[in-house]
Amino acid sequence: MLSRQQDPIVALASAPGRGAVGIVRVSSPQSLEPLVEALCGRALQPRHAHYLPFLSAQGEAIDRGLALYFNAPHSYSGEHVLELQAHGGPVVLQLLLARCLEAAAELDELGRPRLAALRLAEPGEFTRRAFLNGKLDLAQAEAVADLIDASTEAAARSAGRALAGALSVEVGGLRDALIQLRMLVEATLDFPEEEIDFLQAADALGKLQRLLVQLDTLLARSRQGAILREGIKVVLAGQPNVGKSSLLNALAGAELAIVTPIPGTTRDRLSQTIQIEGVPLHISDTAGLRDTEDVVERIGVARSWDAIADADVLLFLHDLTRLADADYQAEDAAIQARLSGVDPARLVQVFNKADSGAAPLQLPEGALSLSAKTGEGLEALRQRLLQQVGWQALPEGQFIARERHVQALQRTRGHVQLALQQAEHAVLDLMAEELRLAHDALGEITGAYTADDLLGEIFSRFCIGK
């Protein structure tokens, strides 16, 4: 895409479908004044809203609305930008979009196109240009998409903080500390004749230890931000009729799944997203795990095992009213054996139907007892789900983060830890190399050191027009 960076681009910047207002956005490194003249019939004062007709090639009004012109670099993308705010009908907006492309190709009095090479924007291209033109760093650019995609109020607020630069400021502080350390090490390597004990005079060990503490703090907050963005994948599994669908309905607060006493009622995966303390939970009810001759149900059971393998948290449900049944116990044991490969940290044993009056049971360590029918024990389950993924509410200054940010910080920390070990043995050349690698890993978060293929992956997930 970098080879097409100089192309003018145009796209619908509002959501598809009908609405009160729709927006067509044009961005170009070169002046848009010839295009403005063709579409609006007059020049526009930058950064002022003008109510006027949008003109066809014949000079007729396609629609009337607001036109705004932003001169570079004072725009979202850092380029010259024109926004046409029209009525939000799909046909009207498509006419305006087509008219922009048509007007750009029309020849002026010198036989030149008004705006050569104007093309439709690719997903995320406006924001990508904002990043490349220094209007946003990469973490802020990602926060734009996260703000649009936020599924909870807490996620939206945290994405807003990241967009405002909360994560970037923290990363910048760590970067400055790394730069200072690198300068000190490099200076000592360049002037070995100086009779100065670098490690003691510069307090290199102390600086590295403090940097590790700061990295650990930011890592913890970034993990929370990643949970807030990605949510938690929770899968309900167990034998038929243990109450999986009832528990899904209870957690969602709505009758989403059909509940009957007939085994095998749920034959396919049913998912619902809810939130607990602002954290999205993607809960999946699955077909009961059992051997069956029913072809459709057998497919559902296979999908259940696929969902189990992909879960962040697996709730293995048991029926308190059937624990004395030898056949039931045998089936439960067979399922448990097959779950032996599941990380115990992801597995929660849940004993349902506590309202049945079944004999008291000594639950396994860490297990929960509840009633999906009455709601008893549901709050304890909600808190356990958050605990399973290490969620700790940090309302003050919480910012949204991505898994790649967490991985970059982990690599940074690893290199700083190795640099500390080299410093303890006064091996300055290896220490300098580890600090350089730490600096590069940290730079991946804000885009200071980022491969083009990663940029393509990030921005391809944006919506067109943003």
What's the confidence (pLDDT) of residue 359? 58
- What are the binding residues for Mg(2+)? 245, 266
Instruction: Say yes or no to pLDDT of 266 above 90.
Output: no
Whether residues 119 and 171 share a domain: the answer is no
Is 383 within a domain? no
Domain CATH code at residue 300: 3.40.50.300
For residue 41, what is the domain's CATH number?
A: 3.30.1360.120
Q: Are residues 38 and 84 in the same domain?
A: yes
Buried b (16+ CB within 10 A) or exposed e, 373-393: beeebbeebbebbbebbebee
70 and 109 in a single domain? The answer is yes
Binding site, residues?
Answer: 25, 83, 135, 241-246, 260-266, 285-288, 352-355, 466
Residue 392 within a domain: no
421-452 confidence digits (pLDDT tens): 998 887 888 999 999 999 999 999 998 876 67
Same domain, 223 and 237: no
Is 385 part of any domain?
Answer: no
The per-residue pLDDT for 426 is 79
Question: Percent of the chain beyond pLDDT 90?
Answer: 43
Least trusted range by pLDDT, from 261-270, 309-318, 333-342, 368-377: 261-270
For residues 207 and 101, membership in a common domain is answered with no
pLDDT per position as a tens digit, 98-149: 999 999 999 887 888 999 999 999 999 999 999 999 999 999 999 999 998 8
Q: Do the domain assignments include residue 393?
A: no
For residues 29-47, give the mean pLDDT. 95
Q: What is the mean pLDDT of residues 363-380?
A: 89
Task: Give the tens place of pLDDT for each residue, 376-387.
Answer: 999 999 999 888
In this structure, the answer to whether residues 204 and 218 fall within a common structural domain is yes
Whether residue 371 is contained in a domain is answered as yes
What integer pLDDT is reported at residue 77 of this predicted model?
Answer: 96
Same structural domain, 326 and 371: yes
Q: Which residue has the higher pLDDT, 388 or 413?
A: 413
For the segment 200-218, the average pLDDT, to the nearest whole number, is 88
Residue ending a domain, among 88, 112, 136, is 136
For residue 260, give its domain range. 233-311+313-376
Q: Binding site membership for (6S)-5-formyl-5,6,7,8-tetrahydrofolate: which residues?
A: 25, 83, 135, 466
> Of the ranges 12-16, 216-220, 304-308, which one carries the lowest mean pLDDT score?
304-308
100 plus 20 within the same structural domain: yes
Q: Are residues 257 and 216 in the same domain?
A: no
67 with 120, same domain? yes
The percent of residues in the chain predicted with pLDDT above 70, rounded, is 90
Q: Which of 136, 157, 184 is the last residue of a domain?
A: 136
Q: Which of 352-361, 375-384, 390-399, 443-452 has the lowest mean pLDDT?
A: 390-399
Q: Worst-scoring range by mean pLDDT, 137-151, 264-278, 292-306, 347-361?
A: 264-278
pLDDT tens-place string over residues 182-199: 888 887 777 665 544 666
Confirm whether 454 is domain-assigned.
Answer: no
Nearest to 210 by CA among 181, 188, 182, 167: 181
The answer to whether residue 2 scores a pLDDT higher than 50 is no
- Per the annotation, binding residues for K(+) are 241, 260, 262, 265
Number of domains in the chain: 3
Is residue 96 located within the same domain as residue 207?
Answer: no
Q: Enumerate the known binding-site residues for GTP.
A: 241-246, 260-266, 285-288, 352-355
Final residue of a structural domain among 136, 163, 186: 136
pLDDT score for 194: 53
**Residue 464 located in a structural domain:** no
320 and 239: one domain? Answer: yes
In a domain, 457, yes or no: no
